[in-house]
Structure 1
């Protein structure tokens, strides 16, 4: 009997932090928006395309898991500050984006608010595993 291969342990981490007071449907939408830009900005996070046994091809996906955490408004602010101070690739979702309907308006809504006044409801961060862990210190895994 062959021993099971050791689980893959990535040197990097993709993590999403959601504010704990947003609705379940909003959490899913926020998560999708937050990670959507990582593949184009960070091509190293994308694996190869998929193909099933019938030869049907599918899009590529992240090559590693996306971990989702939750925390309160203050923790989100702190994590945002930590991510920026470590110069980690970060995406943000603010409460204003619930009222917009397109990419142009989304970007305008974020641009209209200074960094320290952003009303964050979610953020995503990518980088070395230890650095991302420090950014998310105090957050709980989403359940």
Structure 2
């Protein structure tokens, strides 16, 4: 398999913005849920399957990094509005979803609340680097 030392630069960005007051388990859970659908919505972000030296196969993963950011409640609300205004596809996770246990109830919980009243604890984005950067203005990399 050929190797190269040239850096790989991606035209797009996968990013998650988390509310800065979440507990550790919540941050991990929300991040996993927010990126879970991106591979099916954007198959081009998924790389080839993996295999180790013994030819044991492993699942494909994203071919590019997932960048995780954090910010306050108002910053997430503003970023959500900017993403919608730019027509970027957005995944949302609201505080109501911590009390549900399945996809049907998750979708019903989001459906029950008008856009402006969603209690967002995280959003996931995929799009052109520049557009995602503008949406995330003011957010800091997750520590």
Shift of 1:36: 0.1
State the distance in 1 between where 2:48 and 2:89 align.
22
Q: How many residues align?
A: 140
Shift of 1:5: 2.2
1:103 — aligned with what? 103
1:57 — aligned with what? 57
For 1:29-60, what per-residue CA distance to the aligned partner results, in whole angstroms no more than 9, with x for missing partners? 00000000001111111001111110111110
Where 2:64 maps in the other structure, the secondary structure is coil
State the distance in 1 between where 2:100 and 2:5 align.
47
1:5 — aligned with what? 5
1:74 — aligned with what? 74
Structure 1 segments, 4+ long, off by >6 Å, are: none
State the distance in 2 between where 1:62 and 1:90 align.
17
Where 2:70 maps in the other structure, the secondary structure is strand
1:16 — aligned with what? 16
Q: Does 1:90 align with 2:84?
A: no
State the distance in 2 between where 1:87 and 1:8 align.
27
Where 2:131 maps in the other structure, the secondary structure is helix
Point out where structure 1 has 5 or more consecutive residues left out of the alignment.
Answer: none
1:128 — aligned with what? 128
With the length of structure 2 as denominator, give the TM-score of the two structures. 0.96
2:137 — aligned with what? 137
State the distance in 1 between where 2:81 and 2:127 align.
15
Q: CA RMSD in A?
A: 0.8
State the distance in 2 between where 1:20 and 1:80 align.
15
State the distance in 2 between where 1:14 and 1:41 align.
12
Shift of 1:6: 2.8
